[in-house]
Amino acid sequence: MTTTNDAEVLFERKGAIGQIVLNRPKALNALTHSMCIAMKAQLADWAADEAVRAVVVSGAGERAFCAGGDIRALYESGKAGTPYALSFYRDEYILNAAIRHFPKPYIALIHGIVMGGGVGVSVHGNHRIADESTVFAMPETGIGLFPDVGGSHFLPRCPGEIGMYLALTGARLKTADALYAGVAAHFVPKASWDALIAGLADGDAPDAVLGRLAKAVPDAPLAGNPQSIDRLFAGNSGEAIFDALDADGRTWARETAQTLRTKSPASPKITLRQLRESRRKGIHHCMRMEYRMVNRIIAGHDFYEGVRATIIDKDGSPKWSPVALEDVAAPAVDAYFAPLGQGELALD
């Protein structure tokens, strides 16, 4: 969708729907703090408006639905000690929970890149529609972070150990794999999106519109490898998963282990605990846990080093601390999950 309005996020009533357009195409529609606040407020208004029967969210431009949060702004805020970074995460997580509990159909039209924060404003909706260009990933461990925006909630609910595989490796999924993993629910070719929006605007139920327009997709590559993923990522420690990959001997396992060894050594350990502990937890528990975790990330070292190496200097050579998985002690992992006292995330 192309727009000429300069606002970072656009809201429009169109017949029976409220339409949200993430409108920073030059920044791949990366989320800002003000966008999160505006979306939460608008959703509250539309939830109370009987004339709005559903909400549709999409991204401007051809390249991305939403590539995540504005990482550079978060990096600069954290380095300078300003409140922006934690304020952003707080209100982003509140928005994620609000989407999960939105009382009307919330329909995300996912095209191009959908990563990080873009996943958070799509995957918690009850209708997640991918087109043929969709590329999904949760690449946070590569910058010393963890799969947040409710990753604690949706990743453990992927088939088998696919969620753990995606969380630790940051692997990118195209449309068929995104559907197989459950992060997308329907495939509608981009050429049919105008008809989809028109049907919803006319008041048709989402399932009826999707019954007319959704198409089958070819077999997903992930579907051919579930037993290997389930076996190799079933461990209850980072060391167990690394050992299983090292012992496997196949090229895929070796390359996957190499990928994991490029990440911050703390990230696999906290991510594994995050996902294992939240398998049967509700969204509010997950978001509060992630807010505890991100507070410690912002106060630490590896996030800034990961962003520096990936986005600022782009040298691809982060200097992690600690430098090895075995150097990340259990008390250090426990500290990420410790309560925040009066600083806990407040949810409705």
- 226 has a pLDDT exceeding 80: no
Given the structure tokens 């008809």, which residue do they identify? 195
pTM above 0.75?
yes
Active site members = 69, 117, 140, 148
Please give the full DSSP string across 236-282, using - where no structure is assigned: SSHHHHHHHHHHH-SHHHHHHHHHHTTS-THHHHHHHHHHHHTTT--
Q: Is the pLDDT of residue 205 over 80?
A: yes
Question: Is the predicted pLDDT of residue 1 greater than 90, yes or no?
Answer: no
Give, in order, the Cα–Cα distances in Å from 40 to each of 35, 46, 121, 177.
9, 10, 11, 30
Of 12-16, 167-171, 248-252, which gets the smallest average pLDDT? 248-252
* DSSP assignment string, 156-201: GGSSTTHHHHHHHH---EEHHHHHHHTS--EE--GGGHHHHHHHHH
Q: Is the pLDDT of residue 2 over 70?
A: no
The domains of the chain are located at: 1-348
Q: How far does CA 201 lie from the centroid of its chain?
A: 27
Between the CA of residue 92 and those of 65, 68, 230, 301, what are the distances in Å?
A: 16, 11, 31, 22
List strand residue ranges (DSSP E) for the chain, in order: 9-14, 17-22, 54-59, 64-66, 106-110, 113-115, 127-130, 135-137, 173-174, 186-187
The pLDDT score that the predictor gives to residue 57 is 98
Structural class in CATH, domain 1-348 = alpha beta
Is the pLDDT score of 5 beyond 80? no
**Pairing relationship of beta strands 9-14 and 17-22 according to DSSP bridges:** antiparallel
pLDDT digits (tens, 9 = 90+) for 104-137: 999 999 999 999 999 999 999 999 999 999 999 9
Residue 158's contacts (CB-CB under 8 Å, 6 or more residues apart) are: 166, 181, 182, 183
The SS3 assignment for 40 reads helix
Evaluate if residue 81 carries a pLDDT over 50.
yes
Check: CB of residue 303 under 8 Å from CB of residue 297: yes
DSSP tag of 155: G
What is the spatial order of strands in the sheet that 173-174 belongs to? 64-66, 113-115, 135-137, 173-174
pLDDT at 126: 93
Nearest to 23 by CA among 37, 42, 4, 41: 4
pLDDT at 328 over 60: yes
From 142, 168, 170, select the one nearest 305 (Cα to Cα): 142
Confidence at residue 3, expressed as pLDDT on a 0 to 100 scale: 46
- pLDDT tens digits along 36-77: 999 999 999 999 999 999 999 999 999 999 999 999 999 999
Find out whether 143 and 310 touch, Cβ atoms under 8 Å.
yes
